[in-house]
A = this chain, B = another copy of it.
Amino acid sequence: LIKILDTLKENAALVEKALDFYLPKEGDYPESIHKAMRYSVMAGGKRIRPTLVIKAAELFGTSYEKVLPTACAIEMIHTYSLIHDDLPMMDNDDFRRGKPTCHKVYGEAVALLAGDALLTHAFLTITKNAAIEGISDKSVIDVIEKISEAAGSNGMIGGQTVDIEVSGKSINEDTLYYIDLHKTACLLQASLWSGARLAEANNDDLRTLELYGEKIGIIFQITDDILDVIGDEKLIGKPVGSDLKNNKNNFMSMYGFDECRRIIEKLSIEAKELVMPYEKGQGFFTDFVDFLANRNL
């Protein structure tokens, strides 16, 4: 577990250096929007999605520096979704990653526009991948297609829409699964797929990684729901109990702790079986399953 934490830290450092390079400069006019964009993107976080892009590319023989634009782009999309999610008209959260949320610092209008700008800048950043030697134009277009599907109304935004609409209502297992698959898993799946696609992985391998992404996405969301109940506020950087406060349906409210652990165990075994053939027993992707299943942050 210490090894995987080191790997995540190393990759987060690489990603943050690249984000600093690909984001507009803080002093660019108009300053407020560029400061707000950087404030939220550089607020920390585990950089899981860009790390998955990098590790998926490496699995198929392409080194990390060749996929950094796409890795950064997915982190920008993730950050935009958090900024908009935190707005008063949505979840109305004041803290994120231990800091005041974007609209608390820059006001609602600039926060809205900073989210819009990060989403837009993400697609600009993916196009920079086409200038890197060894990356085909076709793979870049495929990646833009995949990421826009995963982040759109049939992906992440679809999940957010249902999440909001069912707030305070009791829902069934299918709806809960729809929300978590779309709100969380889709972008993780697209991260894995994109890294592998830029490395020219074949369709069978891309499909396997997507299945792996679905399973770790659900594990990620269940552990998120558990941490919202029993987590350490200092470690996770936001108040615990916010789901309860907002009447959010989640895995904890539907199944309780013991059953959540059982589901995590089952999904962990399935996820590892998918990637073991590629890693000859053990490697980043198998370790990452254990990290997610047992994370406390």
**Residues in A lying within 8 Å of B, measured CB to CB:** 24, 28-30, 32-34, 37, 80, 84, 87, 89-90, 108-110, 112-117, 119-121, 123-124, 126-127, 130, 137-138, 140-142, 144-145, 148-149, 151-154, 157-158, 160-162, 164-165
Cβ contact within 8 Å between B90 and A109: yes
Residues in chain B near residue A126, CB distance under 8 A: 144
- If A90-B112, A108-B89, A112-B90 touch, does A33 touch B158 (CB 8 Å cutoff)? yes
When chains A and B are docked, how far (Å) is the Cα of A37 from the Cα of B30?
Answer: 29
Contacts of A145 in B (CB 8 A): 124, 127
Given contacts A29-B158, A89-B109, 9 further A-B contacts (CB under 8 A): A28-B153, A30-B165, A33-B157, A110-B164, A112-B112, A120-B151, A124-B148, A124-B149, A141-B141
Bound CA span A218–B28, Å: 23
What B residues does A162 contact at CB under 8 A? 30
Chain B residues within 8 Å of A138, by CB: 130, 137
* Cβ–Cβ < 8 Å partners of A157 in chain B: 33, 113, 116-117, 120
Query: Is there contact, CB below 8 Å, between A116 and B84?
Result: yes
B residues in contact with A165, CB < 8 Å: 30, 32
> When the two chains form their complex, are residues A161 and B113 in contact, meaning their CB atoms are under 8 A apart?
yes
| Complex: chain B residue closest to A77, CB-CB | B120
The answer to whether B154 touches A127, judged by C-beta atoms less than 8 angstroms apart, is: no
Q: Given A24-B154, A30-B161, A33-B161, is A123 in contact with B121 using a C-beta cutoff of 8 Å?
A: no
Do A121 and B158 form a contact, CB below 8 Å, given A87-B112, A165-B30? Answer: no
A118 to chain B, nearest CB (A): 9
CB contacts (< 8 Å) of A121 on chain B: these are 148, 152-153
Instruction: Return A241 CB to nearest CB of chain B, in Å.
Output: 22
In the assembly, what is the distance between CA of A161 and CA of B111, in Å? 10
Asked whether A117 and B87 contact (CB < 8 A) given A30-B162, A127-B145, the answer is no
15 contacts between A and B (CB under 8 A): A28-B154, A30-B153, A30-B158, A30-B162, A84-B116, A110-B161, A112-B112, A113-B160, A113-B164, A114-B153, A115-B116, A119-B120, A121-B148, A123-B148, A124-B145
Which residue of B has the minimal Cβ distance to A115? Answer: B116
- Choose from B32, B110, B123 the contact partner of A123 (Cβ within 8 Å): B123
* Residues in B neighbouring A127, C-beta threshold 8 A: 141-142, 144-145, 148
Which residues of the partner chain B approach A30 to less than 8 Å between Cβ atoms? Answer: 153, 158, 161-162, 165
Compute how far the CA of A113 lies from the CA of B24 in the bound complex, rounded to whole angstroms. Answer: 24
How far apart sit A158 and B160, CA to CA, in the bound complex (Å)? 27
